[in-house]
């Protein structure tokens, strides 16, 4: 059983055939699919699944905190199942490829007190941008 499916089952989330297929499509490392990608892959596994079911299921997974919605530079939102593993993202500015990265150090601690403006910090989201090897031609 996949990590995402196991987490959903542990929460007691009702796993219909449609929900299960969406969760299976999303499972894995470095998965950052658009809703249309999820729909295409889910339809290949379960032809009768509807667009509305896929979109509603993605919305529910985000609300549950089991999937992260990632938006980059006006491109379509992507869905990341690694919601329980702290990480940041590396994004190719040409093709939009997204990779999960876990840099050393604590970015919360790296923000000087004078730059916190009295905020009590609870989290940080960082996006590194560059050009992937495929787009760079090597």
- Residues 33-61 have pLDDT tens digits of 999 999 999 999 999 999 999 999 999 99
Alpha carbons 127 and 134: distance in angstroms, whole number: 19
The residue with greater pLDDT, 86 or 22, is: 22
pLDDT at residue 138, as a whole number: 62
CA proximity to 57, closest of 10, 103, 14, 112? 14
Q: Is 79 helix (H, G, I), strand (E, B) or coil?
A: strand
pLDDT of residue 45: 96
Domains of the chain: 2-80 (1.10.10.10), 88-130 (3.30.1490)
- Checking if the pLDDT of 1 tops 50, the result is no
Higher pLDDT, 11 or 137: 11
58-115 tens-digit pLDDT: 999 999 999 999 887 777 899 999 888 888 899 998 988 899 898 887 777 788 888 8
What does the pLDDT read at residue 120?
87
Q: Which of 34, 33, 54 is nearest to 45 (CA)?
A: 54
Q: Say if residue 16's pLDDT is above 90.
A: yes
The maximal CA–CA distance of the chain, rounded, in angstroms, is 55
Q: What sign for the dihedral angle of Cα 94, 96, 98, 101? A: positive
Contact 84, 7 (CB under 8 A): yes
Nearest CA among 68, 138, 65, 63 for reference residue 100: 68
Q: What is the arithmetic mean of pLDDT over 128-137?
A: 92
Specify which residues 128 forms β-bridges with: 90
């Amino acid at each position: 059983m996949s990590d995402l499916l196991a987490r959903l089952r542990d929460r007691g989330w009702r796993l219909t055939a449609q929900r299960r297929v969406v969760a299976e499509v999303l499972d894995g490392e470095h998965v950052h699919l658009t809703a249309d990608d999820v729909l295409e892959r889910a339809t290949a596994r379960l032809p009768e699944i509807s667009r509305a079911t896929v979109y509603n299921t993605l919305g529910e997974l985000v609300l549950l905190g089991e999937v992260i919605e990632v938006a980059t530079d006006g491109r379509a939102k992507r869905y990341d199942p690694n919601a329980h593993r702290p990480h940041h993202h590396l994004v190719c500015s040409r093709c939009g490829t997204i990779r999960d990265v876990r840099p050393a150090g604590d970015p919360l601690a790296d923000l000087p007190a004078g730059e916190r403006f009295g905020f009590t910090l609870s989290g940080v989201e960082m996006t590194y941008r560059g050009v992937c090897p495929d787009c760079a031609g090597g």
